[in-house]
């Protein structure tokens, strides 16, 4: 199955290429194996040793931690060490799911930074990229499979334990945790994106690259090859990158930016890359598996159904056939797979942690709207793209609120169908709190606007047929002071929680708001009266109010101590 024949020679523009190393250099950034060891050290990895069927059991098992009512912090990465298929065939390679972003703590481990510093780390990496280092030998080339080794059952792609993501709907095992590498045929700049690839034969895949407006960089390369009259486009599908490289697949960067350079910016050092064996592309040297080949630019092939990240099943469509020319991998390779489909999911966490800082930087830094404190992309079911909540400081001018709403709506073509502005006391992850703000802080005739002529974007409806969508903007911020939230103050709720735990009552998962607080329309004398009541001295409050009796007023006439 293994062919160690020398790879063909390629022409390389050495004026643009990084300095080449003859010996394999040390590096400080973690590869996937080291990342899994770090997750296990932090208690974020579960090893599953019993036999698990990749075709019908593996993804559903991990899915339960996203739909079973577990808190995000309790999710783990699952390492399946005994993988079989529906026929009972056993695979040599383990499969890991959730290892990049089952939750924010796992993402944070991959970024080697606390969650609150990830935004700055992305900004610094994009502003200060570091060119990759070319190496001649690499772990990803420890095993090279070509020619006859790719042909037949149990060989090539069929030797890999690729899971079925949505059993009952998906028509094929599908590569999901991919970094798909293509190259601009004119400039030579590579692009790396996360695209799904369905297995069709031991040496054939069908790749789906986004064709929507503002779509994938790989698809732009595909179109360029077509215009040049090229019958095929070289491609390398990388499965299992160092986390710094893996994070770049779903990230949206300006056209023409090489993701390897930004990955170097994240790592603080050059990322090691190596020339692929059968295509003129560079791939991560520490990759687990690389699938090399050529995409047909003349013919397309039916692909899907497949459960998509927008939460619906993508129905069968024509997509890009790929002829596999080589599969290279580490001797101890681990295959990662993303939990995607209905959010929350691993893919939605990856995107959310990366996208929210981009939205915030756009509004606060590029547009100069300083009162914006946070941007939250709604994750459950809507999958980040449809509902955007902007958190702004109290008292922010109305014109700035609307500038923020418009800015968020148009930042990305496939995001912002519903944009809502709220104040800092509203938890944007709590739909009940958002409905509360909309119910009591907005006047629909004044605080709601709609925008026509928007594209459908990524979703069960596609823009191929020309069907348009629209956008809803809602200002649900406080326009003036309001009375306090009618819950006991924080100190009383905390005292009661201590008693709750003393009584060993069921464990609590507080949902904000879980205590009362002032919203501006409140007086110091009322605080003093409340303190007396909480201490059992309500009779003193009665004595004070008796002295304020008046004649001739209508009941429910407002009273202010001052």
Question: Residues 295, 296, 301, CA angle at the centre, nearest 5°?
Answer: 105
pLDDT at 8: 30
Residue 73, token pair as written in the block: 């912090």
Provide CATH 3.40.1670.10 ranges for the chain: 346-475
CA distance 411 to 403: 12
pLDDT at 214: 56
Task: Note the pLDDT of residue 123.
Answer: 84
pLDDT tens, 364-381?
989 999 999 999 998 877
The top-level CATH class assigned to 346-475 is alpha beta
Per-residue pLDDT of 111-153, as tens digits, reads 999 988 888 898 899 889 999 999 999 999 999 999 999 999 9
**How many other CB atoms are found less than 10 A from the CB of residue 387?**
23
Q: Give the closest residue to 281 by CA, choosing from 300, 247, 258.
A: 258
At 61, phi and psi to the nearest 5? -65, -45
How are beta strands 232-239 and 335-337 bridged, if at all? Answer: unpaired
The token duo for 317 is: 């469509």
> Is the preceding omega at residue 249 within 30 degrees of 0, hence cis?
no
The alpha carbons of the chain give a radius of gyration, in whole angstroms, of: 28
Q: Is 47 helix (H, G, I), strand (E, B) or coil?
A: strand
Element holding 274 (H helix, E strand): strand 272-275
Its pTM surpasses 0.85 = no
Q: At a CB cut-off of 8 Å and minimum separation 6, what does 497 contact?
A: 508
Do 62 and 75 touch, CB atoms closer than 8 A? Answer: no
The pLDDT score that the predictor gives to residue 545 is 94
Question: Do residues 274 and 137 make contact, with C-beta atoms less than 8 angstroms apart?
Answer: yes
Encoding tokens for residue 291? 């699938």
**235-293 confidence digits (pLDDT tens):** 999 999 999 999 987 777 777 778 999 999 999 999 999 999 999 999 999 999 999 99
Place of tokens 């008046």: 550
Q: Is 243 helix (H, G, I), strand (E, B) or coil?
A: helix
Q: What helix, strand, coil percent values describe the chain, rounded to 5?
A: 30, 25, 45
Instruction: Read off the pLDDT of each residue in 427-438 and give the average, rounded to a whole number.
Output: 93
Distance CA 147, CA 481 (A): 73
Residues 388-401 pLDDT 10s: 999 999 999 999 99
Buried b / exposed e across 395-413, counting CB within 10 Å, b at 16+?
ebeeebbebbbbbbbebbe
Q: Which residue has the tokens 């606060």?
A: 364
Exposed, middle or buried, 78 (CB in 10 Å: 0-12/13-18/19+)? Answer: buried
Tell whether the model's pLDDT for residue 19 goes beyond 50: no
**CA 39 – CA 102 distance, rounded (Å):** 11
Residue of 418 and 454 predicted with greater confidence: 418
Is 151 within 8 Å of 337 (Cβ atoms)? no
When pLDDT is averaged across residues 212-224 and rounded to a whole number, the result is 82
Please count the other Cβ atoms lying within 10 Å of the Cβ belonging to residue 543. 10
CA distances from 160 to 60, 163, 320, 392 (A): 19, 9, 21, 49
- 32-50: per-residue pLDDT in tens? 999 999 999 999 999 999 9
How much of the chain, in percent, has pLDDT values that exceed 90?
68
Alpha-carbon distance of 63 to 344, in angstroms, equals 10
Residue 334's CB: how many other CB atoms inside 10 A? 21
**For range 443-468, the mean pLDDT:** 75
Q: Could you give the 3-state DSSP secondary structure of residue 145?
A: strand
Q: What distance in Å separates the CA atoms of residue 164 and residue 237, rounded to the nearest whole number? A: 18
Q: Which region among 4-13, 51-60, 316-325, 425-434 has the lowest average model confidence (pLDDT)?
A: 4-13
What's the fold here for domain 20-28+118-331?
Answer: Pnp Oxidase; Chain A (2.30.110)
Max intra-chain CA distance, the chain: 103
Give the chain's length.
562
Given a contact cutoff of 8 angstroms between Cβ atoms, the answer to whether 499 and 249 are in contact is no
* CA distance linking residue 335 with residue 321, whole number of Å: 22
Distance CA 188, CA 203 (A): 27
Return residue ranges of the chain for CATH 2.30.110.10: 20-28+118-331
Q: Are 66 and 28 in contact (CB under 8 A)?
A: no
Neighbours of 2 (CB within 10 A): 9
Q: Which residues, in sequence order, are bridge partners of residue 450?
A: 472
Q: What is the pLDDT of residues 297-355, one digit of tens each?
A: 999 999 988 887 666 788 889 999 999 999 999 999 999 998 887 777 787 777 788 78
Angle 331-332-333 (CA atoms, 0-180°, nearest 5)? 95
For residue 230, what are the contacts with CB-CB under 8 A and spacing of at least 6?
185, 297
Q: Which residues contact 146 (CB under 8 A, 6 or more apart)?
A: 3, 5, 277, 278, 325, 326, 327
For residue 440, what pLDDT is reported? 94
């Amino acid at each position: 199955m293994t062919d160690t024949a020398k790879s063909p020679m390629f022409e390389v523009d050495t004026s643009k290429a990084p300095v080449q190393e003859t010996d394999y250099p040390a590096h400080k950034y973690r590869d996937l194996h080291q990342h899994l060891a770090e997750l296990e050290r932090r208690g974020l990895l579960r090893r599953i040793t019993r036999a698990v069927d990749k075709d019908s059991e593996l993804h559903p098992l991990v899915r339960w931690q996203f739909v079973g009512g577990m808190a995000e912090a309790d999710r783990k990465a699952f390492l399946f060490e005994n993988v079989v298929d529906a026929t009972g065939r056993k695979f040599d390679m383990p499969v890991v799911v959730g290892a990049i972003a089952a939750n924010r703590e796992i993402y944070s481990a991959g970024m080697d930074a606390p969650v609150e510093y990830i935004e700055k780390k992305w900004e610094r990496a994009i502003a200060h990229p570091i060119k990759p280092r070319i190496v001649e030998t690499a772990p990803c080339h420890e095993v090279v499979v070509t020619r006859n080794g790719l042909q037949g059952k149990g060989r090539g792609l069929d030797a890999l334990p690729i899971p079925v993501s949505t059993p009952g709907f998906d028509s094929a095992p599908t590569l999901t945790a991919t970094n798909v590498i293509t190259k601009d045929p004119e400039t030579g700049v590579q692009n790396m994106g996360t695209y799904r690839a369905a297995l069709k034969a031991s040496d054939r895949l069908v790749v789906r690259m986004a064709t929507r407006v503002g779509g994938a960089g790989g698809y732009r390369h595909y179109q360029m090859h077509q215009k040049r009259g090229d019958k095929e486009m070289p491609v390398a599908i990388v499965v299992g990158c160092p986390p710094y490289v893996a994070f770049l697949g779903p990230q949206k960067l300006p056209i023409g930016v090489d993701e390897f350079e930004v990955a170097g910016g994240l790592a603080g050092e050059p990322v090691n890359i190596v020339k692929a064996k059968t295509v003129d592309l560079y791939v991560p040297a520490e990759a687990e598996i690389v699938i090399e080949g050529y995409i047909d630019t003349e013919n397309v092939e039916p692909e899907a159904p497949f459960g998509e990240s927008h939460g619906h099943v993508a129905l069968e469509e024509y997509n890009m056939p790929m002829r596999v020319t080589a599969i290279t991998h580490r001797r101890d390779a681990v295959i990662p797979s993303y939990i995607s489909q209905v959010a929350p999911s691993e893919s939605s966490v990856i995107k959310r942690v990366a996208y929210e800082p981009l939205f915030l930087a756009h509004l606060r830094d590029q547009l100069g709207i300083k009162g914006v404190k946070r941007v939250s992309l709604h994750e459950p079911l809507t999958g980040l793209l449809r509902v955007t909540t902007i958190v702004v400081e109290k008292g922010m001018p109305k014109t700035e609120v609307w500038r923020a709403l418009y800015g968020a709506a148009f930042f990305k073509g496939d995001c912002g169908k519903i944009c809502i502005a709220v104040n800092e006391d509203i938890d944007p992850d709590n739909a009940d709190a958002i409905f509360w703000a909309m119910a009591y802080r907005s006047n629909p005739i004044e605080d709601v606007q709609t925008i026509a002529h928007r594209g459908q974007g990524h979703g069960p409806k596609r823009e191929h047929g020309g069907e348009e969508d629209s956008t809803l903007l809602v200002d649900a911020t406080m326009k003036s002071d309001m009375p306090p939230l009618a819950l006991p103050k924080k100190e009383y709720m905390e005292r009661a929680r201590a008693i709750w735990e003393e009584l060993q009552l069921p464990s609590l998962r507080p949902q904000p708001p879980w205590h009362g607080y002032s919203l501006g329309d409140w007086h110091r004398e009322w605080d003093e009266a409340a303190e007396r009541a909480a201490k059992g001295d309500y009779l003193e409050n009665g004595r004070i109010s008796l002295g304020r009796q008046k004649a001739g007023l209508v009941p429910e006439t407002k009273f202010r101590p001052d």
